[in-house]
C-alpha cells in the first residue's frame, strides 16, 4: 500500500489470515527473545568464557555493549506486548451486519512492527557476536563467519571506547535487511 492510500481494514471473514498473522507474530517474538538471551550471555563475564564484561574494550571504564543489550531487551518486551493476538478481538460493526470481525488488518500491522523489532535484536546480536570474535583474536573464525564479520566491519567498527551505538545498530539492521 502506498502512503496516503486508504483501504478498508476490517478484513471481514478473514479470520484464517488473522490467525496466521497472529501466530507469526508469536513465533517472531519468540525468536527475538531467544536472540536477546544469547546477547545477555555474551555480555555476562560469568557466562561468556573469559571475555570482558559487556564486551567492553576497557572493562571497568567502558560500558561496552551493555546499553545495546538493554535496547534488545526493550524491543523484545515491546514485541511480547504486541504478540497478543488481534484475531481474538471482535467488535460488531455496520449496524450489527458484521457481527464478527477478524481484525486481520491489525494482526498484520502488529506483525510488521514485531518483524522490525526482531531485525534490530538480531542486528544487536550480530554486533555482539562480532565483538566476541574480535576479542578472541588471534583465533580465527570459520570462513563463512569471517566473511560475515568482514561485511559487518564495513558498516560497524569493532571494539573501542564508549560511543553512541544507535548508528551502528541501525547500520547492522540495514545490513540484515
CATH value at residue 138 = 1.20.200.10
The lowest-confidence range among 9-23, 62-76, 128-142, 150-164 is 9-23
Quick check: 35 pLDDT over 80?
yes
Q: Looking at the domain assignment, is residue 6 inside a domain?
A: no
Higher pLDDT, 10 or 36: 36
Q: Looking at the domain assignment, is residue 7 inside a domain?
A: no
pLDDT of residue 174: 98
Q: Looking at the domain assignment, is residue 5 inside a domain?
A: no
Quick check: 18 pLDDT over 80?
yes
Residues 6+ away with beta carbon under 8 Å from 129: 42
Q: Looking at the domain assignment, is residue 20 inside a domain?
A: yes
Q: Looking at the domain assignment, is residue 169 inside a domain?
A: yes
Closest CA relative to residue 50, chosen from 121, 156, 135: 135
Quick check: 3 pLDDT over 80?
no
Q: Looking at the domain assignment, is residue 10 inside a domain?
A: no
pLDDT band at 10 (very low <50, low <70, confident <90, very high): low
What is the percent of the chain where pLDDT is above 70? 94
Q: Which residues form the domain of 85?
A: 15-176
Q: Looking at the domain assignment, is residue 159 inside a domain?
A: yes
pLDDT of residue 64: 95
**Matching residue, cell 538471551:** 37
Cβ pair 38, 133 in contact under 8 A: no
Quick check: 175 pLDDT over 80?
yes
How many domains does the chain divide into? 1
Interval 124-150 mean pLDDT? 97
Instruction: Measure the CA–CA gap between 52 and 69, rounded to whole angstroms.
Output: 15
> Against a cut of 0.85, is the pTM above it?
yes
pLDDT of residue 9: 61
Interval 67-79 mean pLDDT? 98
Instruction: Measure the CA–CA gap between 49 and 123, rounded to whole angstroms.
Output: 22
Instruction: Measure the CA–CA gap between 154 and 157, rounded to whole angstroms.
Output: 7
Q: Looking at the domain assignment, is residue 1 inside a domain?
A: no
Amino acid at each position: 500500500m502506498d502512503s496516503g492510500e486508504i483501504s478498508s481494514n476490517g478484513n471481514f471473514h478473514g479470520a484464517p489470515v488473522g490467525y496466521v498473522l497472529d501466530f507469526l507474530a508469536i513465533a517472531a517474538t519468540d525468536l527475538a527473545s531467544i536472540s536477546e538471551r544469547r546477547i545477555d550471555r555474551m555480555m555476562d563475564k560469568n557466562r561468556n568464557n573469559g571475555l570482558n564484561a559487556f564486551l567492553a574494550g576497557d572493562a571497568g571504564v567502558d560500558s561496552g555493549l551493555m546499553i545495546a543489550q538493554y535496547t534488545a531487551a526493550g524491543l523484545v518486551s515491546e514485541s511480547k506486548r504486541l504478540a497478543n493476538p488481534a484475531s481474538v478481538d471482535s467488535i460488531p460493526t455496520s449496524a450489527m451486519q458484521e457481527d464478527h470481525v477478524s481484525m486481520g488488518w491489525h494482526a498484520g500491522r502488529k506483525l510488521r512492527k514485531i518483524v522490525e523489532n526482531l531485525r534490530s535484536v538480531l542486528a544487536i546480536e550480530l554486533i555482539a557476536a562480532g565483538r566476541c570474535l574480535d576479542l578472541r583474536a588471534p583465533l580465527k573464525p570459520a570462513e563463512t563467519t569471517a566473511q560475515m564479520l568482514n561485511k559487518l566491519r564495513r558498516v560497524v567498527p569493532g571494539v573501542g571506547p564508549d560511543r553512541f551505538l544507535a548508528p551502528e545498530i541501525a547500520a547492522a539492521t540495514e545490513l540484515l535487511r
